[in-house]
Amino acid sequence: MGFFLGGRDALIVVDMQRDFLPGGALAVAGGDWILPGINALMDHFRQREGRIILTQDWHPPGHLSFASSHPGKNPFAPVAGIEGIGPLLWPDHCVAGSAGADFSPQLETVGAHLVIRKGYHRAIDSYSTFVENDRLTPTGLAGYLKEVAAGRIFLCGLALDYCVYWSAVDGRKKGFEVVVIPDLCRGIGARSSAEALQAMNGLGILTARPEEIMA
C-alpha cells in the first residue's frame, strides 16, 4: 500500500537524543540502528513537501520523574500516587541544556520545520508530544499542526512504549490520522512495547513499514 505523501503529512521524530541512545543515561537498546532509516525518511518527507517535527525530552534538574528526586528509590522503580509522574521512575536524563539532551550527532536536523520540547515542568512528566502527563497541559503541537493544515502524522523514534505510544494516542484523540513506523522505533521494555503496539491497533492507529511510505 502506498501513502502518497504530500503537504498535509507530518513526520514526528521522537526524542532521538544522546541520553536515549547507547551510552546515554536512559539508553534504549538498538536506538542507534534506526538513525539511518529515520534520516532517509526525513529526506523523503522533505522531497514530498511534508512537515518534519523533532521532539526533545527537556527536563529541569531535579525533575520529579528522576529516581534521584525520591530518597531511597532506584531508577525503573514503580511509583504511584504522584499526579503526572510514573508509572516508573527514571535515571536522571535529558536535563535541559546538557550534552545528553542534545540530538544525536548522526541525526540530520537541518530539514526540520519545528522542534518541540516537553517535560520542562518540574512536577509533571510528558511522554506525549501533545499533552503532558497531567493529561491537561498542552504542548501546542496540535495547534501548530492544525494551523499548517496537517491531517496525517507519522511517528518514529524513542521510546516506542512511552513517548511514541502516548504521542500516537493523543494524536488520534486530537483528530489526526496516525501512522506509527515500528521498524524505526525502539522500546524500553519488550513487554510494554508489545502491549503498546496492541493498544494502538485497537485505537485505529495504523502501522507501516518504511518501504511502504517511501515507495
Please identify every residue annotated as catalytic.
Answer: 15, 118, 163
Grid coordinates belonging to 175: 483528530
For the CB of residue 158, give the shortest distance to ligand VGL in the complex, in Å: 5
Find the binder of ligand VGL among 10, 13, 131, 163 (CB under 6 A).
Answer: 163
- The edge-to-edge listing of strands for the beta sheet with 51-57 is 114-118, 51-57, 9-14, 152-158, 177-186, 206-207
x/- binding map, residues 61-100, to ligand VGL, per CB under 6 A?
A: -----------------------------x----------
Choosing among ligand VGL, Zn ion, none, which partner's interface includes residue 66 (Cβ < 5 to 8 Å by kind)?
none
Q: Which residue has the cell 522533505?
A: 46
Find the binder of ligand VGL among 53, 67, 107, 158 (CB under 6 A).
Answer: 158
For the CB of residue 82, give the shortest distance to ligand VGL in the complex, in Å: 14
Find the binder of Zn ion among 32, 57, 92, 108 (CB under 5 A).
Answer: 57
Q: CB under 5 A: which stretch of 43-51, 53-61, 170-178, 196-204 binds Zn ion?
A: 53-61
Q: Helix 190-202 crosses helix 165-173 at what angle (to 10 degrees)?
A: 10
Give the phi and the psi of residue 59 in degrees, each rounded to 5.
-100, 145
Contact indicator for 90, 68 with CB cutoff of 8 Å: no
- For the segment 46-65, give every residue that binds ligand VGL (CB under 6 A): 57
For the CB of residue 86, give the shortest distance to Zn ion in the complex, in Å: 12
Contact indicator for 83, 41 with CB cutoff of 8 Å: no
Find the binder of ligand VGL among 159, 184, 185, 196 (CB under 6 A).
Answer: 159
Q: Residues 6 or more apart from 136 whose CB is under 8 A from it?
A: none
For the CB of residue 166, give the shortest distance to ligand VGL in the complex, in Å: 8
Rounded CA gap, 33 and 155, in Å?
16
159 upstream amide cis, omega within 30 of 0: yes
Choosing among Zn ion, ligand VGL, none, which partner's interface includes residue 163 (Cβ < 5 to 8 Å by kind)?
ligand VGL
Q: Which residue has the cell 536524563?
A: 93
Which residues in this chain contact ligand VGL in the complex, by CB under 6 A? Answer: 15, 57, 90, 127, 158-159, 162-163
Binding site for Zn ion (CB under 5 A): 57
